[in-house]
Amino acid sequence: MALGRGLGAILDEVGQAYENEVGGGIDRAGQIREIDLEDITPNPYQPRKHFDQTALLELSESIKQHGLLQPIVVLDKGDSYLLVAGERRFRAHELAGMDTIKAIVADVDIDELKLRELALIENIQREDLNAIELAHSYDELIKVYEITHDKLSEFVNKSRSQITNTLRLLSLSAYAQEKLISGDISQGHAKVLVGLEESLQRRLVDTIIGQKLSVRELEQLIKKNKGKEKIETNSSKRVSFLQKHKESFSDKLPFPFKLKNNTIEIKLKNEDEIKKFLSMIN
């Protein structure tokens, strides 16, 4: 398979469409048109799953004030149009309550495989994907085209090490991936977590967020506790402290209680016990 030929054909058609528009244009495929939003279907192979709503709203306001500067690209499917490039612009038009959008109708015969490739490559080259989406895109291209990391590196103009390191993020736990996607931890943090046990990843992710650890501080924490059965984060230290003094609590609290994480849960059955507890505090 020739990776990238579908993308090249579309881009050539886009360039021709702009030339037609500038030169007066003629009424044929490739010309910039106004198309009803309801007639456009998103690309089912779009690898981008997360769209920043704040950024979409800003784009929507900009389009309302200044118009759409760069048309989307669609394919004519007979009774509808298939969106090939420009999903953010398409969604921004929907947010703005517009009925139509400026679009280039590309006169290209493209099959499902090329459509999938086009969606992946467009997003990779535009750097529109988060780290996990990008990793899935790399993985899909490698599997579909049965190519090596080196070959993919040549095509997408990314270093082989960048591709390999990004792909390793797919081995992270679902919890760590979720926090990476949401931006609670950085890709630098995520790379350090790769290869650790899932339960340890969760504790470290919570520690990164709670204590605002830098990547360097995370590396030092892991290095300091290397070889130990359990890395002591601040939360685990607090639990250990409470457990250590459990007998002391038992001597002083005449009520049933439970230690949970860094909290003491005291169960008071009635009003008399509540009054007794309050008098102890006083």
Structural domain of residue 246, as residue ranges? 235-281
Instruction: Quote the CA–CA distance of 227 and 116 in Å, as a whole number.
Output: 45
pLDDT of residue 25: 38
Does one domain contain both 197 and 242?
no
pLDDT of residue 138: 87
User: Within the chain, what is the greatest distance between any pair of CA atoms?
Assistant: 91
Does one domain contain both 75 and 35?
yes
- Does residue 107 sit within a domain? yes
Does one domain contain both 21 and 76?
yes
pLDDT of residue 41: 83
Alpha-helical (H) ranges within the chain are: 5-22, 53-66, 87-95, 112-126, 131-145, 149-156, 160-168, 174-182, 187-193, 198-211, 215-224, 234-244, 246-252, 271-281
State the CATH number of the domain containing residue 99.
3.90.1530.30
For residue 1, what are its two tokens?
């398979």
Does one domain contain both 13 and 97?
yes
- State how many domains the chain has: 3
Does one domain contain both 107 and 11?
yes
pLDDT profile of the chain (282 residues), mean per 10: 49 48 41 85 70 78 82 82 83 88 76 65 66 86 84 83 92 94 92 92 93 92 73 51 60 67 72 76 66
- Does residue 276 sit within a domain? yes
Does one domain contain both 29 and 75?
yes
pLDDT of residue 173: 95
Instruction: Quote the CA–CA distance of 42 and 49 in Å, as a whole number.
Output: 12
Q: Which of 87, 117, 122, 133 is catalytic?
A: 87
87 catalytic, yes or no? Answer: yes
- Does residue 153 sit within a domain? no
pLDDT of residue 122: 63
pLDDT of residue 115: 65
- Does residue 46 sit within a domain? yes
Question: Which of 115, 130, 158 is the endpoint of a domain?
Answer: 115
Does one domain contain both 104 and 181?
no
Task: Answer yes or no: are the C-beta atoms of 242 and 259 closer than 8 Å.
Answer: yes
186 Cβ partners below 8 Å, 6+ apart? 180, 215
Does one domain contain both 218 and 251?
no
- Does residue 159 sit within a domain? no
Does one domain contain both 21 and 111?
yes
Does one domain contain both 17 and 88?
yes
- Token pair 């967020």 is at which residue? 209
Does one domain contain both 219 and 252?
no
pLDDT of residue 46: 66
Does one domain contain both 260 and 274?
yes
pLDDT of residue 265: 76
